[in-house]
Amino acid sequence: MHLLFLSRPDRGHLYPTLRLAEELGGRGHQVTFASGDPYVDETAGPGVRILRFGRDERGLLDMPVFRSQGPVDAVVADPRTAKAAGAFGAVPVVVAGTNLAGGREWPGERSSSYVFTLPGPRGAVHDPWRPGGRRPVLLVDGPPIGPLVRAFGDTQWQVVVGDSTRFAGLPHADVFLTDGRLAAVSAALRAGVPMVLAPETAEETGYARHVVALGVGRIVAPAEQPAEELRQAVERMRVDEPTLVTARRLATRVEAAGAPAVAATAVEALLDAESVARAA
């Protein structure tokens, strides 16, 4: 099949679906990996051609080099480019991303046409954060700043707020304090980092409760909680060995679930099912 990948870079110019495209190219598919980012890798594996489309994915339609490759049989889009897939004909569309796929095991996307793929080290990550010294690291994404200053201002903790490359600091974090958005939860489960969760919406609360049920999280309310209690909650997650063991075990399972070979097989299965449904 001729598979068109539509990809917008993640913050830090990472292409989570590039390894998936390379796996499918290696299986004999003709793959066009299209992005508008100037930092996209210039080369890819066998069977994969990388094209830049500028600011709009539809710009591909005016490119002779794209038209010369023949019609597209299916589109694999990331969540930000899925809306543009219709411009390439009435073809099957698979959405592939780094949020986990939903199920009983962990919280995730519920769409039947969604495939979870692990982000790879491709692309140009700019100024990834590194910890200073050996002090414990609390990565924060979402909760308000004021309670954090009161709880951790005079402690040994390095508190990293507003990670400029999204969750790039997670490999260095001892604990992740987050509002419980699916992207954040998925990133922490991939990294094997225990979570303290401060959900604000019903959806975030649902994800947070799932994390707690997995044994790798604790729900708090920073704005309503005394500084001492918030600090103790974070400290407990850092040193609780059963939690840490569970987080590492889940990370291993998540890595296996999103490996390029597994994700590629899932894409092929979805497209085969779509082909059968269209022929019926």
* Per-residue model confidence (pLDDT) at position 125: 62
**Confidence at 126, pLDDT banded by 50, 70, 90:** low
Domains of the chain: 2-118+258-279 (3.40.50.2000), 137-256 (3.40.50.2000)
The pTM score is 0.91
Tokens of 207: 């994800």
Q: Please provide the average confidence, as pLDDT, over all residues in the chain.
A: 90
Under a CB-based contact definition with an 8 Å cutoff, are residues 258 and 189 in contact?
Answer: no
* Contacts by residues 36-41 (CB-CB < 8 Å, ≥ 24 positions apart): 36/8, 37/8, 37/9, 37/13, 39/9, 39/13, 39/123, 39/124, 40/9, 40/13, 40/15, 40/123, 41/15, 41/122, 41/123
The arithmetic mean of pLDDT across residues 132-154, rounded, is 87
**Confidence at 121, pLDDT banded by 50, 70, 90:** confident
Reduced to 3 states (helix: H, G, I; strand: E, B; else coil), residue 112 is: coil
Secondary structure in 3-state letters for 46-75: CCEEEEECCCCHHHHHHCHHHHCCCCCCEE
* Per-residue model confidence (pLDDT) at position 163: 58
Higher pLDDT, 90 or 145: 90
Which tens digit of pLDDT belongs to each residue from 217-240? 999 998 888 999 999 999 999 999
Lowest mean pLDDT among 19-23, 120-124, 199-203, 258-262: 120-124
**Confidence at 44, pLDDT banded by 50, 70, 90:** confident
Under a CB-based contact definition with an 8 Å cutoff, are residues 161 and 137 in contact?
Answer: no
In angstroms, the CA 277 to CA 280 distance is: 5
DSSP letters, 160-208, are EES-TTTTTTGGG-SEEEE---HHHHHHHHHHT--EEE---SHHHHHHH
In angstroms, the CA 15 to CA 117 distance is: 11
**Confidence at 15, pLDDT banded by 50, 70, 90:** confident
- Residue 4, exposed/middle/buried by CB under 10 A (0-12, 13-18, 19+)? buried
What contacts 115, CB < 8 A, 6 or more positions away?
A: 20, 94, 95, 96, 97, 101, 263, 266, 267, 270
* Per-residue model confidence (pLDDT) at position 127: 59
Q: Which percentage of the chain shows pLDDT scores above 90?
A: 67
Higher pLDDT, 43 or 152: 152
Tokens of 60: 């591909």
- Cα 92 to Cα 84, 88, 108, 269, 272, distances in angstroms: 13, 10, 22, 12, 10
Higher pLDDT, 275 or 218: 218
Reduced to 3 states (helix: H, G, I; strand: E, B; else coil), residue 215 is: coil
Tokens of 63: 């490119």
In angstroms, the CA 129 to CA 116 distance is: 26
